[in-house]
């Protein structure tokens, strides 16, 4: 195991998890990556495999069917899956760091008893915040929830919802009282059988096996008992959970960069031009060394943010920095990896070009790079003025 693939600070348990996810990714996911990308569809067997591996409730208490492991363990799994397929990685990431986390942290005992075992055993989750007219300005969402008797009636539309094509459980953010602004935003747990329909499935540049859909809610009836964390608490729940989720996306991006690196670098030592392996030319060696350093730096930022979160320290600024840097590194390393393999890197056969296509999303979802910069800037201003 090279220095790029390991961190000195992982516990024995975390190392074992890392090895088992790596094995699953290489043996089960890898053979299907190209087909899933071309078909723009996740293979249901992969989702089933993630459940069998115990990766769909990593932090969930054992009493609710989960692995009761650490946040860092969830991050390790995301990174390892992304080395092989960033689409599979984000499916697991959203399910764990967003959906499971919200039930675990904010659900009542009854809600946890009802939903967490399902989420650990077989039912996929999705996190429905963004809308056609509110992406970065997420708290300006227009989806409304109106109380009628013991139920809420939800009307509106959500856009860009990861996992929503396959999901059974949906966390929907809707405003119950727009006169209160974002303090009316409330989080509802809904299930597909309540009548959730897919309005459109996106065709994308990258992470094509990961589903991204628009959902329209037309008088969707959700029991008041399915409100998570209390009326008006939704905005806080969403952003606090996204602070954690951003560490997950950073992990996805470093895994992606590492995956591209691992595919392209060995090729440079095999490909001979001018009588020697192209990887022996200093012009290549320095690019490779730069890329290795960038990945290591992004990884340290990411795991530092994860450990801070685990230790109960502030981590919002660190999470934003990790996501910002890791998504830049993913894009630059995967782009360079294509060039290191020359024409071969440009074909779909090697899979290197796919990492580059997949890398672009890192600077967009869970807060664009400008939103991460804005978050970091707010902290700096507070600290220095
Ligand atoms: N952490 C904790 N609280 C935060 C926060 C943060 N990072 N940013 C803002 N807040 C709180 C503020 O403290 C304030 O709360 P109080 O009134 O209780 O004090 C409230 O949020 C509003 O603050 P602002 O007026 O400063 O915020 P804003 O309305 O200008 O923007 C934001 C806030 C919408 C959270 C924005 O900063 C943001 O992050 N936008 C990006 C949205 C996003 O990440 N969407 C991801 C969708 S999920 C996804 O993408 C999943 C996937 O792809 C896989
Ligand atoms: P906009 O907010 O319209 O931004 C456009 C540009 O303007 C960006 O460059 C942005 O940085 C810039 N900009 C905006 N505001 C500012 C500002 N104040 N200062 C400086 N620049 C600014 N959402 C979910 O809720 N759940 C999901 O599961 C989910 N999955 C997704 C999966 C994919 C593949 C994609 C593409 C998106 C997903 N999203 C999801 C939505 C994602 O979070 C949003 O796309 C993202 O937050 C950006 O919003 P937007 O697309 O509306 O861009």
Closest listed residue to residue 97, CA positions, set 366, 368, 376, 321 = 366
SS (H, E, C) 124-174: CEEEECCECCECCCHHHCCCEEEEECCEEEEEEEEEEEECCCCCCEEEEEE
**pLDDT confidence of residue 73:** 95
Q: What average pLDDT does this structure show over 125-146?
A: 98
Q: Kindly report whether the global pTM for this prediction surpasses the value 0.95.
A: yes
Residue nearest to atom 49 of ligand 2 (CA): 135
Sign for the CA dihedral angle at 191, 77, 70, 367 comes to negative
Backbone angles phi, psi at 166, to 5 degrees: -100, -15
Q: How confident is the model at residue 79 (pLDDT cuts 50, 70, 90)?
A: very high
Tokens of 262: 């691992």
- Alpha carbon distances (Å) from 225 to 82, 110, 112, 235, 258: 36, 9, 12, 19, 44
Q: What average pLDDT does this structure show over 323-343?
A: 98
Indicate which ligand has the atom closest to the C-alpha of 208: 2
Using the mean position of ligand 2's atoms as its centre, give its distance from the Cα of residue 21 in Å.
30
- Dihedral angle at the C-alpha atoms of 379, 370, 314, 3, nearest 10 degrees? -120
Is residue 375 within 6 Å of ligand 2 at its C-beta?
A: no
Q: Coil, strand or helix: which one is 2? A: coil
Q: What average pLDDT does this structure show over 255-278?
A: 98
Angle at which helix 12-24 crosses helix 71-84, to 10 degrees, equals: 30
Using the mean position of ligand 1's atoms as its centre, give its distance from the Cα of residue 62 in Å.
31
- Asked if 268 contacts 277 with a C-beta cutoff of 8 angstroms, the reply is yes
Note every long-range contact of 143-147, with CB atoms under 8 Å and residues 24 or more positions apart, other chains counting. Answer: 143/172, 143/173, 143/174, 143/175, 143/217, 144/174, 144/175, 144/176, 144/178, 145/174, 145/175, 145/176, 145/186, 145/188, 145/222, 146/176, 147/176, 147/224
4-46: per-residue pLDDT in tens? 445 667 888 889 999 999 999 999 999 999 999 999 999 999 9
- Asked if 208 contacts 32 with a C-beta cutoff of 8 angstroms, the reply is no
Q: What average pLDDT does this structure show over 154-170?
A: 98
Q: What average pLDDT does this structure show over 130-150?
A: 98
Chain-centroid distance of CA 372 in Å reads 15
**pLDDT confidence of residue 2:** 42
Cα separation of 129 and 167, whole Å?
15
**pLDDT confidence of residue 8:** 67
Average pLDDT over all residues of the chain: 96
Q: How confident is the model at residue 3 (pLDDT cuts 50, 70, 90)?
A: very low
Residue nearest to atom 15 of ligand 2 (CA): 136
Tokens of 188: 């509802």
> Closest ligand 1 atom to the C-alpha of 375?
7
339-361: per-residue pLDDT in tens? 999 999 999 999 999 999 999 99
Ligand 2 mutation target, pool 130, 138, 162, 164, most atoms within 8 A of CB = 130
Q: What average pLDDT does this structure show over 267-291?
A: 98
**pLDDT confidence of residue 11:** 86
> Closest ligand 1 atom to the C-alpha of 320?
7
Using the mean position of ligand 2's atoms as its centre, give its distance from the Cα of residue 368 in Å.
6
Is residue 368 within 6 Å of ligand 2 at its C-beta?
A: yes
Whether residue 166 lies in the annotated active site = no
Using the mean position of ligand 1's atoms as its centre, give its distance from the Cα of residue 235 in Å.
7
- Asked if 220 contacts 194 with a C-beta cutoff of 8 angstroms, the reply is yes
Indicate which ligand has the atom closest to the C-alpha of 97: 1
In the predicted structure, residue 211 carries a pLDDT above the cut 90: yes
- Asked if 263 contacts 350 with a C-beta cutoff of 8 angstroms, the reply is yes
Closest listed residue to residue 182, CA positions, set 234, 112, 219 = 234
Closest listed residue to residue 188, CA positions, set 216, 162, 223, 218 = 223
Indicate which ligand has the atom closest to the C-alpha of 366: 1
Tokens of 45: 């067997």
Using the mean position of ligand 1's atoms as its centre, give its distance from the Cα of residue 70 in Å.
25
Closest listed residue to residue 119, CA positions, set 227, 22, 191, 18 = 191
Closest listed residue to residue 259, CA positions, set 32, 13, 4 = 4
Residue nearest to atom 42 of ligand 2 (CA): 365
């Amino acid at each position: 195991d090279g220095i790029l693939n390991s961190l000195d600070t992982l516990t024995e348990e975390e190392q074992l998890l890392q090895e088992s996810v790596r094995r699953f990714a290489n043996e089960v996911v890898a053979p299907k990556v190209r087909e899933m990308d071309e078909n723009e569809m996740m293979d249901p067997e992969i989702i089933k495999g993630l459940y069998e591996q115990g990766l769909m409730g990593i932090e969930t208490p054992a009493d609710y069917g989960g692995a009761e492991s650490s946040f860092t363990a969830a991050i390790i799994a995301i990174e390892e899956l992304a080395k092989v397929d960033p689409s599979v990685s984000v499916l697991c990431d959203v399910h764990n760091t967003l959906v499971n986390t919200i039930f675990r942290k904010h659900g009542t005992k009854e809600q946890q008893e009802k939903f967490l075992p399902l989420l650990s055993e077989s039912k996929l989750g999705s996190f429905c915040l963004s809308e056609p007219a509110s992406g970065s300005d997420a708290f300006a969402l227009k989806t409304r929830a109106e109380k009628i008797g013991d139920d809420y009636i939800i009307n509106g539309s959500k856009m860009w919802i990861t996992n929503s094509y396959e999901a059974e459980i949906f966390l929907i953010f809707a405003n119950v009282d727009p006169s209160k602004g974002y303090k009316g935003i409330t989080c509802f747990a809904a299930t597909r059988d309540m009548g959730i329909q897919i309005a459109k499935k996106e065709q994308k540049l990258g992470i094509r096996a990961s589903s991204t859909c628009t959902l329209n809610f037309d008088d969707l009836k959700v029991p008041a008992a399915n409100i998570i964390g209390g009326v008006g608490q939704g905005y806080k729940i969403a952003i606090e959970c996204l602070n954690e989720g951003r560490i997950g996306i950073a992990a996805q991006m470093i895994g992606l960069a590492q995956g591209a690196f691992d595919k392209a670098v060995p090729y440079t030592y095999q490909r001979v031009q001018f009588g020697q392996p192209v990887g022996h030319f200093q012009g290549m060696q320095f690019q490779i060394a730069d890329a290795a350093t960038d990945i290591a730096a992004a990884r340290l930022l990411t795991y530092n943010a994860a450990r801070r979160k685990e230790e109960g320290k502030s981590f919002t600024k660190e999470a934003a920095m990790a996501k910002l840097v890791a998504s830049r590194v993913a894009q630059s390393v995967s782009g360079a990896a294509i060039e290191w393999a020359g024409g071969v890197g440009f074909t779909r056969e090697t899979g290197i070009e796919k990492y580059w296509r997949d890398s672009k999303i890192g600077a967009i979802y869970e807060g664009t790079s400008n939103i991460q910069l804005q978050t970091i800037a707010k902290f700096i201003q507070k600290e220095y003025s």
